[in-house]
A and B are shown apart, each in its own frame.
Chain A
Amino acid sequence: MMNRRSLVSLLGLAVCAGLVGLGSLLSPGPSNVSIAEPVPLPSVLINAAGATFPYPIYSKWFSEYHKLHPDVEFNYQSVGSGAGIRQTIDKTVDFGASDGPMNDQQLAEAKQKLGYDILHFPTVLGADVPCYNIPGVTAELKFTPESLSNIYLGKITKWNDPALTGPNPGVKLPNTDIVVVHRSDGSGTTYIWTDYLSKINPAWASKVGRNTSVNWPVGLGGKGNEGVAGLVKETPGAIGYVELIYAIQTHIPYGVVENKAGKFIKADLASVTAAATGAAANMPDDFRVSITNAPGADAYPISSFTWLLIPSHIADATKRDDIKAFLKWMLTDAQQYNEGLDYARLPKAVVAKEMTQINRVQ
């Protein structure tokens, strides 16, 4: 009897050690919904990761879509466009999202690693706004392109610099240090911002360049749009760039920017849509287009599309159908939620073109 007890103990040890491996084998995969269930359990979990720029509208969309289709869950993690691109290439998520389109090098890397293309699907139009926290100043400040780029190059260091007081004659700007805030993580919002700065300032283009992650001359790093907004809100004298809705939702004042036509334009639905009109008419087949510093009297200069990065080949049939169904919904019904969160709708021409691209997802 003693002997058996010892053997049992040994057996227990061996079994325990094997449990982990067993667990992964036995983990439940997607199960088919049974016919007679009144409320079907979610059977499919689709993982996505990427841009923080559109996170407010995406989280709304995925939540609404889940209400319409309770058997599908889209788990979107707002980790930054850089991570979205990385994880799409590594295929550690089912699809990604980015506001900086994948460049040729990244697309080639993806093609080489995965064997198929990654397709860009524009989802909404949004804007990067310069938000600030200046004690005693609640007015809407006017920024020229030069002043923005020089602030971020570290050449303008005080709020009462002539480059800032010039366009804002009625505002009393204090002699406070400017605390520049940028992203510490890989970000499409950064891509949009640096893309714009590169276009309007050759010094920026050669010194820093455009990318999701750059070598910032000055400033503090915040993680995600959320982190930048958080830092700006807590730090007197700070200036940062965030997607429009983040400034609105967190009640941080943001400025207006002078566009190519010379007018100071505030970021809103109309001005962002105006920025996209040119691109809508001439959309390239792969949908990778930049609309910063767009021509047009009423265009907001730091606007951008944002994209979902969908693999052109999805092995799992259920996931593929769910993703395609979602894309169709996204291009049609979902757009009604955009304006409530201050994102602009996709132009009709772009929607039509994307519908055809859905067929490329096999």
Chain B
Amino acid sequence: MNRLTWRKMVNAVMSSVTALCALIAVVPLLFVLGLLVVKGTSSLNWAFFTKLPVPVGETGGGIANAIVGSAELLLLAALFGVPLGVAGGIYLSEFGGWGVPFVVRYAADLLVTVPSIVIGIFAYAVVVLPVGHFSALAGGFALGVMLLPIVVTNTEQFLRTVPVWLREGSLALGAGHWKTTMSVVVPAAMQGILTGILLALARVAGETAPLIFTAFNNAYWNRGLNQPVSSLPYMIWIYGISAYDDWHRQAWAAALLLLGLVLVVNVLSRLVLARRMASRRIA
């Protein structure tokens, strides 16, 4: 075989091999989704959504408190992470100079990579120990600390994509810097910022580790911010590692619910962002 044929063969083979890699990379997601649908759908019944957990060994309970608890924790995380994050992102993009923004960006980058269990230790030391007990607040704080750097980085990135001429036009017309930012730049980037926040919330919604020694868990409804609270990922964890078939069923259903919500948010966000990027290219 001559050299050219050999090279063409290598081309064909390697193209196939890399295509195979890509296909293999897609399989896990589809597999997990399929598995959860098969194992979890049958348990997604009315009791599951509305009842509280029953004593161990008995059947018929649900995880209503965990679903509400997760929502509560996300709200707390958003309260802590979103305003600070968006404002911080605005600073980095609009007002920043050289020193502070560089350090802040580096810190945000760092904070994003901190393992979630370490954030849990931090929240334990900073909220649980001084207050004296576990609470939704501690859990929300832990999740908020995870949310904050993501929102900051994201907001800054999207603000930066707003073209300079938009800012300059506004300033040229006499609007002040802050007015420009709030009336022109932020609204222009708003879609991206909001989807970024939603994606960050979806990411944080699935976190279990930071909640283990902050939010603790609650067999009943959460009665206040300074009381323990149950959550979806936590229930998936303890039900999953147990030996009770009924708990396993509920774990699958809860996992399906959680993954479903997370995927819906992710898919919608990406579609919105893709459309935005496409229209941007046309402009």
Contacts and interface: CB of A to CB of B under 8 A. Distances in A.
B13 interface: no
Given A42-B220, A47-B134, A27 B238 contact: no
A117 interface: no
A91 interface: yes
B95 interface: no
Interface residues of A, number: 49
Interface stretch (A52-60, A122-130, A198-206): A52-60
Contacts of B176: 6
B264 interface: no
Contacts of A233: 243
A282 to B, nearest CB: 34
A344 B176 CA distance: 78
A230 interface: yes
B243 A230 contact: yes
Given A27-B225, A227-B242, A92 B133 contact: yes
A24 B55 CA distance: 31
A56 B216 contact: no
Contacts, number: 119
B182 A6 contact: yes
Contacts of B227: 27, 45, 47
Given A9-B182, A27-B226, A28-B224, A55 B243 contact: no
B28 interface: no
Interface string B174-200: 011011001100000000000000000
A26 B224 CA distance: 9
A75 B219 contact: yes
A92 B134 contact: yes
Interface residues of B, number: 42
Contacts of A45: 218, 220, 223, 227
Nearest to A77: B217
B145 to A, nearest CB: 12
| Residue of B82, B141, B227 with most partner-chain A CB within 10 A | B227
Contact of B223 (A28, A91, A93, A245): A28
Contact of B225 (A17, A23, A42): A23
| Residue of B56, B176, B226 with most partner-chain A CB within 10 A | B56
Interface of A: 2, 5-6, 9, 13, 16-17, 19-20, 23-24, 26-29, 42, 45, 47, 49, 55-56, 59-60, 62-63, 73, 75-78, 90-93, 222-224, 226-227, 229-230, 232-233, 245-246, 249-250, 252, 341
9 closest cross-chain pairs (CB), A and B: A16-B83, A229-B243, A27-B225, A226-B242, A59-B55, A230-B243, A27-B224, A250-B243, A28-B224
